[in-house]
Amino acid sequence: MDFFFRPKSIVVIGASLNPQKLGHQVLKNIIEGGFKGKLYACNIDPSVKKVLGVKNYPSVLDIPESPDLAIFVIPAQAVPSVLEECGKKKIKGAIIISAGFKEIGPEGEKLENELIKISKFYSIRILGPNCLGLIDSISRLNASFAPSFPKKGNIAVISQSGAVCTAILDWAQVAEVGFSRFISLGNKADVTEIDLLEFLEKDKATELIIAYLESIGNKVDDGRKFIEIAKKLSLKKPLIVVKAGKTEKGAKAIATHTGALAGSQKAIDAAFLKSGVIKADSLEELFVLAKSFSKIPLPEKKEVLVITNAGGPGVMATDALEAANLPLAKLEKGNLEILKKNLPKAASLKNPVDLIGDAKADRYELALKVGLKDKNTGAILLILTPQTATEIEKTAEVISEKLKTKNEKRKAKNEKPIFPIFIGGEKVKKGIRILEKAGIPVFGFPEKAVNVLKKFIEYRNWKEKIKKAPQPVSIEIEKYGKENVAAWIKEERLKNVFHLGDQIADEILRTYKIPVLKSRLVQSATEAIAASRELTFPVVLKISSPDIIHKSDVGGVKVDLKNEEEVKRAFNEIIKNVKRKKPKARINGIVVYPMAKKGIEFVIGVKRDPLFGPLIMFGFGGIWIEVFKDVSFRLAPLTPEDAKEMISEIKAYKLIKGVRGQPPLDEKAIIDTILKVCKLIQDQPEIEELDINPLLVYEKGVLALDNRILIKK
């Protein structure tokens, strides 16, 4: 990627004499930005000798050397042929700013496909098309049509929307943040955020990456790749992503519950969780988090000290902390003594420490000093309201003095994070400016600071979890189980059966040592009675048909049959019901099961996400799944820790731990089953979806009662 960020030579294709044209602006930006390398203009008009003092070549083929980078600012139709010339010229990278490709419809898509072909054939990497370009504050390259060069800083920006790029640049001017590299992705015909993350992971100038994405990568494999590189990167530096297009209309036809609930957004959330990506829910949150992660050190512990000059906002901060599950720090005894000795009698020493309304800068200084050295305090919220006696500017100076070095350096030294919260408007403005100038972000409201702190803690926890390399898990299955199951699936498919229920699904799970019920497939009431005797009463009868997914809906299930008479009647009724309601369904017969012991109903499911692979779901099952949607998701592969997390995330976890004197359920067996399902789905690429609902969970053990598997068509 070096030829994009540190090219030795550049040609601007479409360099124009007309200052109104983008081709002029881009060249001008490169020159004015301070690019140090060789620069060539390429304008097809042979009468043009120079553009902005740069020598013009009507064709790239005429240029005496092979430039590292070509920047395209010509009409879309002309791009492919010139790109081909660039390929021939062995140019390494192209930034295609020109629009008129995939984004305008099928016609443009065709054009874009040509670019992709040329790119592959000549090994020329493409950024764009339809992008704003690229800005590099380190190498002083402004290869974009953004007129302003952002301040140099430690944040790299990747954006899939040009408009968001311009908004971020505009925001940066007031937010006192600077950028290392700034990349507009455009249509992602070739280069995607994955390539860029790979580059930025090693980039010393970048300490934090923020990204606006509408999709992940540009091909099927990219989901996995994204996770891999994002994880590697997140261990070194934070990656904050806002992903647009969050809400999803529920799928219409549901074959499995997992299919209905495991939308692509769940997969993305799971991917972010797996790879330590910090998710921002809006552009606003992205901005706040970007600034905070770039400037504030991460806390070593989550206990928070609140310092305030007013009770009300102190209460609001406490509310926000409690909602975010962040505890208030208990100050060390000695530190409490210092506060007691030096603060007025009316001050409240119990965290939140209320310096009361007439607090001048000295009280803030004292409390801050105490908080910074207090061993029980992980982070400090410092609230100021503009009261009559309040020394706003002086307090701001005290804070920035107390933090001595800029936050950036404190960050490097991992010092305690301080969140100044200045509530108001006109009067607090000057204090805010002093702090922001000193590199200390100021918050307008307690809730905002608490949200940042929460993300800090989550990121820190993720890193710690990942650093503890988990024990490898080995899941034992039946001998030749993998091969057998693959063979059975193949067989079913040959029969044009893609929905495996009942015995075959049970058999597959059994092969992976997941407990299922014994069963018998029978063709007559007499056979049903014999089977019932063998399996012992009471029994359940279910229709077996590849064409009937929801058996109860067609009267295809009869439960708790206690004797031969009941079994006989049930058999006949089921046949009658099904023939009436689904006359065309293929019928294998009726399956006889013993009644399962009562247990609590959970669900384990899998849906293969097209981008990220198997997405595994655990939750509260039975019909409750549709009512409460109390489920959690993770992407395969899973560690036992992941499985444990999935279980403890759902509300019904209380049931597993034992509620109201009821005994706890077998959590270990659930973890085990989740891991087995995970192995199954990884072993068997032909399985698309899988539903164990209910998975009955007991004080000891589990039972996969009702199972269905969808295989690829």
Instruction: Choose the stretch contacting a second copy; rule: CB under 8 A; options: 67-75, 197-205, 472-480, 626-634.
Output: 626-634
* Listed residue (653, 650, 677, 676) closest to 665, CA to CA: 653
Give, to the nearest 10 degrees, the angle between helix 162-175 and helix 283-295: 50
The DSSP element (H or E) to which 183 belongs, if any, is strand 179-184
Ranges within 11-30 binding a second copy (CB under 8 A): 22, 25
Cβ partners under 8 Å of residue 413, min gap 6: 297
CB 693 within 8 A of CB 706: yes
Q: Does 414 help bind a second copy (rule: CB under 8 A)?
A: no
Q: Does 538 help bind a second copy (rule: CB under 8 A)?
A: no
Q: Does 245 help bind a second copy (rule: CB under 8 A)?
A: yes
The DSSP code for 103 is G
Instruction: Choose the stretch contacting a second copy; rule: CB under 8 A; options: 371-379, 467-475, 635-643, 648-656.
Output: 648-656
Indicate which single residue of 34, 46, 311, 610 sits in contact with a second copy (rule: CB under 8 A): 311
Q: Does 267 help bind a second copy (rule: CB under 8 A)?
A: no
Least distance (Å) between residue 312 CB and a second copy: 3
Rounded to whole angstroms, the Cα distance separating 314 from 63 reads 67
Least distance (Å) between residue 34 CB and a second copy: 21
Nearer to a second copy, 175 or 585 (CB): 175
Question: φ and ψ at 492, to 5 degrees?
Answer: -60, -40
Indicate which single residue of 31, 48, 138, 167 sits in contact with a second copy (rule: CB under 8 A): 167
Q: Does 412 help bind a second copy (rule: CB under 8 A)?
A: no
Q: Does 313 help bind a second copy (rule: CB under 8 A)?
A: yes
Rounded to whole angstroms, the Cα distance separating 415 from 299 reads 7
Ranges within 419-478 binding a second copy (CB under 8 A): 423-429, 444-448
Indicate which single residue of 117, 437, 654, 700 sits in contact with a second copy (rule: CB under 8 A): 654
Indicate which single residue of 171, 488, 537, 698 sits in contact with a second copy (rule: CB under 8 A): 171
Least distance (Å) between residue 624 CB and a second copy: 9
Ranges within 554-583 binding a second copy (CB under 8 A): none
Least distance (Å) between residue 271 CB and a second copy: 18
Rounded to whole angstroms, the Cα distance separating 53 from 683 reads 63
Rounded to whole angstroms, the Cα distance separating 432 from 419 reads 12
Ranges within 182-241 binding a second copy (CB under 8 A): 212, 214
Nearer to a second copy, 390 or 532 (CB): 390
Rounded to whole angstroms, the Cα distance separating 81 from 96 reads 13
Query: CA separation (Å) from 516 to 402, 503, 522, 706?
Result: 65, 10, 18, 9
Q: Does 145 help bind a second copy (rule: CB under 8 A)?
A: yes
CB atoms inside a 10 Å sphere around CB 346: 10
Indicate which single residue of 61, 116, 412, 623 sits in contact with a second copy (rule: CB under 8 A): 623
Q: Which amino acid is at 306?
A: V
Nearer to a second copy, 426 or 464 (CB): 426
Q: Does 246 help bind a second copy (rule: CB under 8 A)?
A: yes
Q: Does 41 help bind a second copy (rule: CB under 8 A)?
A: no
Rounded to whole angstroms, the Cα distance separating 271 from 243 reads 12
Interstrand relation of 9-13 and 499-500 (parallel, antiparallel or unpaired): unpaired
Q: Does 655 help bind a second copy (rule: CB under 8 A)?
A: yes
For the chain, the distance separating the N- and C-terminal CA atoms, rounded to the nearest angstrom, is 40
Q: Does 632 help bind a second copy (rule: CB under 8 A)?
A: no
Nearer to a second copy, 487 or 659 (CB): 659
Nearer to a second copy, 119 or 385 (CB): 385
Q: Does 346 help bind a second copy (rule: CB under 8 A)?
A: yes
Ranges within 661-680 binding a second copy (CB under 8 A): 661-662
Nearer to a second copy, 119 or 160 (CB): 160
Least distance (Å) between residue 629 CB and a second copy: 8
Q: Does 640 help bind a second copy (rule: CB under 8 A)?
A: no
Q: Does 487 help bind a second copy (rule: CB under 8 A)?
A: no
Give the x-and-dash track for 124-143 against a second copy (CB under 8 A): --------------------
Least distance (Å) between residue 430 CB and a second copy: 11
Q: Does 47 help bind a second copy (rule: CB under 8 A)?
A: no
Least distance (Å) between residue 38 CB and a second copy: 27
Ranges within 364-403 binding a second copy (CB under 8 A): 385-388
Indicate which single residue of 251, 323, 412, 487 sits in contact with a second copy (rule: CB under 8 A): 323
Q: Does 630 help bind a second copy (rule: CB under 8 A)?
A: yes
Least distance (Å) between residue 208 CB and a second copy: 18
Nearer to a second copy, 2 or 626 (CB): 626
The DSSP element (H or E) to which 558 belongs, if any, is strand 557-561
Q: Which amino acid is at 564?
A: E
Give me 169's structure tokens: 């640049």
Rounded to whole angstroms, the Cα distance separating 437 from 238 reads 23
Indicate which single residue of 440, 652, 690, 705 sits in contact with a second copy (rule: CB under 8 A): 652
Least distance (Å) between residue 537 CB and a second copy: 17
For a second copy (CB under 8 A), the number of binding residues is: 76
Cβ partners under 8 Å of residue 108, min gap 6: 76, 100, 101, 102
Nearer to a second copy, 73 or 529 (CB): 73
DSSP states of 37-91: SEEEEE-S-TT--EETTEEB-SSGGGSSS--SEEEE-S-GGGHHHHHHHHHHTT-
Rounded to whole angstroms, the Cα distance separating 539 from 531 reads 9
Query: CA separation (Å) from 309 to 339, 352, 484?
Result: 14, 10, 71
Instruction: Choose the stretch contacting a second copy; rule: CB under 8 A; options: 28-36, 54-62, 633-641, 649-657.
Output: 649-657
Q: Does 253 help bind a second copy (rule: CB under 8 A)?
A: no
Least distance (Å) between residue 361 CB and a second copy: 17
Give strand pairing partners of 381. 306, 419
Instruction: Give buried/exposed letters for 19-56 (b at 16+ CB in 10 A, else e).
Output: eeebbbbbbbbbeebebeebbbbbbeeeebeebbebeb
Q: Does 350 help bind a second copy (rule: CB under 8 A)?
A: no
Least distance (Å) between residue 25 CB and a second copy: 8
The DSSP code for 472 is P
Indicate which single residue of 44, 175, 372, 486 sits in contact with a second copy (rule: CB under 8 A): 175
Listed in order, strand segments (DSSP E) in 395-511 are 418-422, 499-500
Strand order in the sheet with 239-243: 141-144, 133-136, 179-184, 152-159, 208-213, 239-243, 278-280
Nearer to a second copy, 138 or 175 (CB): 175
Q: Does 251 help bind a second copy (rule: CB under 8 A)?
A: no
Q: Does 258 help bind a second copy (rule: CB under 8 A)?
A: no
Cβ partners under 8 Å of residue 280, min gap 6: 240, 241, 242, 286, 289
Nearer to a second copy, 9 or 160 (CB): 160
The DSSP code for 320 is H
Least distance (Å) between residue 166 CB and a second copy: 5
Half-sphere exposure of 472 (CA within 13 A, CB side): 2
Nearer to a second copy, 176 or 506 (CB): 176
Indicate which single residue of 18, 59, 81, 282 sits in contact with a second copy (rule: CB under 8 A): 282
Strand order in the sheet with 353-354: 353-354, 304-308, 379-384, 418-422
